[in-house]
Amino acid sequence: MTILVTGATGTIGSAVVDELLRAGHRVRALTRNAAAADLPDQVEVVEGDLTEPRSVEVALRGVTALHLLSATGDDHVPLATGPRLVELARQAGVRRVTVLTTGADGPVEQAVRASDLEWTILLPIDVMANALGWAESVRTGGVVREPYGGRLTASVDIADFAAVVATVLVDGGHAGKSYRVTGPEALTPADKVRAIGAAVGRELDFVELTDEQARELWRAEGWPEEGIDFMLTMWATVPPTVGVVTSVVKEVTGRSPRTFAEWAGEHARLFA
Ligand SMILES: NC(=O)c1ccc[n+]([C@@H]2O[C@H](COP(=O)([O-])OP(=O)(O)OC[C@H]3O[C@@H](n4cnc5c(N)ncnc54)[C@H](OP(=O)(O)O)[C@@H]3O)[C@@H](O)[C@H]2O)c1
């Protein structure tokens, strides 16, 4: 069984690769730039670009299970190439596919649902690792500045999300399902900052920003304009379900999802 992981060099995909390797599976990774891909030696790295389906044909050869992104770029644009990618996967002999969705019902999601593949659509509401974006500000000033401070998110540890992906791809039994994959609790950014403070042994401040203040700060940090627009629009329009905890991690993997406090403890050195 060769499993192709797209997004394998990214935050979430690299955790999927690690989880599959730990379980002893043969992993192939798709990247647009093999020379820059920093992946474990056991991984077969193949170049391809999901926006150009023909470039992915080589990577799909001999693959039976596929972890597929549904969107790319700083503004998380849905992949318009979804139907072609799904068709090429079918032709190559792929039987099982996990789709990493952003929650949008885009071309990839629609194409897998219309196919005869064993598809499972997985939405990580928000991953705890996104809090690493606060590390520098915590280290240098003991403060986190963010807009939408009242938002509650049931963030999931990428290791738990990756374990769900790996279980679904390898064991099957989840065909035709769409899962929201969350951690065990819904927290505000201020709750998370408190947990990081406890992990590093310091009291940290949380400052809520307006949209304009956030835009200025993120520009100064070098964020691309489309990434800023994406984040502000997302947090302004996000449905309350982002704060609803699900039991998917436990049901699929059999283990309880990690809390944010545990995640913060494991990553404390990055904030100290
Ligand atoms: N972070 C979250 O909380 C969250 C929540 C829900 C959904 N998502 C979705 O999950 C996906 C991955 O998130 P992440 O945080 O792991 O992102 P990330 O760290 O920024 O990594 C992005 C990955 O996408 C790959 N990629 C980008 N454009 C590509 C293209 N045209 N063809 C092939 N590969 C391409 C990159 O590979 P190379 O650069 O090596 O080619 C890289 O591996 C994103 O699509 C995001 O929308 C994220």
Could you write out the DSSP letters of every residue in 1-54? Answer: -EEEETTTTSHHHHHHHHHHHHTT-EEEEEES-GGG----TTSEEEE-BTTBGG
Q: What share of the chain is helix, strand, coil (3-state, %, to 5)?
A: 45, 20, 35
The two structure tokens encoding residue 151:
């938002």
Nearest CA to ligand 1 atom 35: 7
- pLDDT at residue number 75: 83
In tens, the pLDDT along 174-229 reads 999 999 999 999 999 999 999 999 999 999 999 999 999 999 999 999 999 999 99
Q: How many CB atoms lie within 10 A of CB 115?
A: 16
Q: What are the beta bridge partners of residue 270?
A: none
- pLDDT at residue number 82: 98
Mutate to test the pocket of ligand 1, among 5, 6, 9, 12 (most ligand atoms within 8 A of CB): 12
Give me ligand 1 centre to Cα 12, in Å.
7
Any atom of ligand 1 within 6 Å of the Cβ of 130: yes
The two structure tokens encoding residue 189:
């950014």
> How long a stretch of residues is the chain?
272
Mean pLDDT, residues 8-20 taken together: 97
Give me ligand 1 centre to Cα 72, in Å.
6
Residue 94, pLDDT above cutoff 90: yes
Any atom of ligand 1 within 6 Å of the Cβ of 14: no
For the chain, which domains are there?
A: 2-124 (3.40.50.720), 125-156+182-246+255-272 (3.40.50.720)
Name, in order, each residue with C-beta under 8 angstroms of 270's C-beta and a sequence gap of 6 or more.
Answer: 132, 135
Higher pLDDT, 59 or 74: 59
Bridge-based pairing state of the strands 77-78 and 71-72: antiparallel
Residue 238, pLDDT above cutoff 90: no
∠157-6-20 over CA atoms, to 5°? 55
In tens, the pLDDT along 53-68 reads 999 999 999 999 999 9
Phi, psi at 268, each rounded to 5°: -55, -40
In tens, the pLDDT along 95-130 reads 999 999 999 999 999 999 999 999 999 999 899 999
User: What is 256-271 written as a DSSP string?
Assistant: PPPPHHHHHHHTGGGT
Higher pLDDT, 3 or 76: 3
Give dist(CA 91, CA 259) in Å, integer: 41
Residue 7 alpha carbon, nearest atom of ligand 1: 43
- The dihedral through the CA atoms of 16, 18, 21, 26 has a sign that is positive
- pLDDT at residue number 253: 98
Give dist(CA 152, CA 5) in Å, integer: 30
Residue 239, pLDDT above cutoff 90: no
Q: With bands split at pLDDT 50, 70 and 90, how would you rate the model's confidence at 240?
A: confident
Q: Which helix (H) or strand (E) holds 196?
A: helix 189-200
Q: Which helix (H) or strand (E) holds 164?
A: helix 158-171
Give me ligand 1 centre to Cα 202, in Å.
33
Any atom of ligand 1 within 6 Å of the Cβ of 71: yes
Any atom of ligand 1 within 6 Å of the Cβ of 64: no
Residue 26, pLDDT above cutoff 90: yes
